[in-house]
C-alpha cells in the first residue's frame, strides 16, 4: 500500500497514516506538489538499513585486499 499525500493532509490524518504504515504501507509526503519526505514503518526501515550495510561491507571487502595473502598465511605468520 503506497501513496502520496500532501503535508497538510498528512498532519490532519497522522493517526490513520501511522496505522497504515504499521501494516506495511508507505507514503510520500509532498509540499506544493514536490516530494519532501517518506513515511515508512520502523521494521521496513530497519530491514533496508541492514541490507544497505551488508551491501557496503561486501563492496569494501572487494576494494581492500591483502595482495594475495590469505588469512591462513597471516595466522601462521602471527603464530611463528
Give the tens place of pLDDT for each residue, 19-54.
Answer: 999 999 999 999 999 999 999 999 888 888 999 999
Contacts of 41 (CB under 8 A, 6+ apart): 21, 22, 24, 25, 26
Q: Where are the beta strands (DSSP E) in 1-80?
A: 2-6, 26-31, 34-40
Contacts of 24 (CB under 8 A, 6+ apart): 1, 41, 44
**Residue 64 confidence (pLDDT) above 80:** no
Q: What domains are there in the chain, each with its CATH number? A: 2-41 (3.40.1620.10)
Question: pLDDT value at position 70?
Answer: 78
Q: CA dist 8 to 2, 29, 79, Å? A: 18, 9, 66
Amino acid at each position: 500500500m503506497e501513496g502520496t499525500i500532501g503535508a497538510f493532509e498528512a498532519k490532519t490524518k497522522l493517526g490513520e497514516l501511522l496505522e497504515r504504515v504499521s501494516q506495511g504501507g508507505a507514503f510520500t509526503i509532498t509540499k506544493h506538489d514536490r516530494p519532501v519526505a517518506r513515511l515508512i514503518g520502523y521494521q521496513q526501515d530497519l530491514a533496508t538499513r541492514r541490507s544497505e550495510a551488508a551491501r557496503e561491507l561486501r563492496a569494501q571487502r572487494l576494494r581492500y585486499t591483502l595482495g594475495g595473502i590469505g588469512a591462513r598465511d597471516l595466522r601462521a605468520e602471527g603464530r611463528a
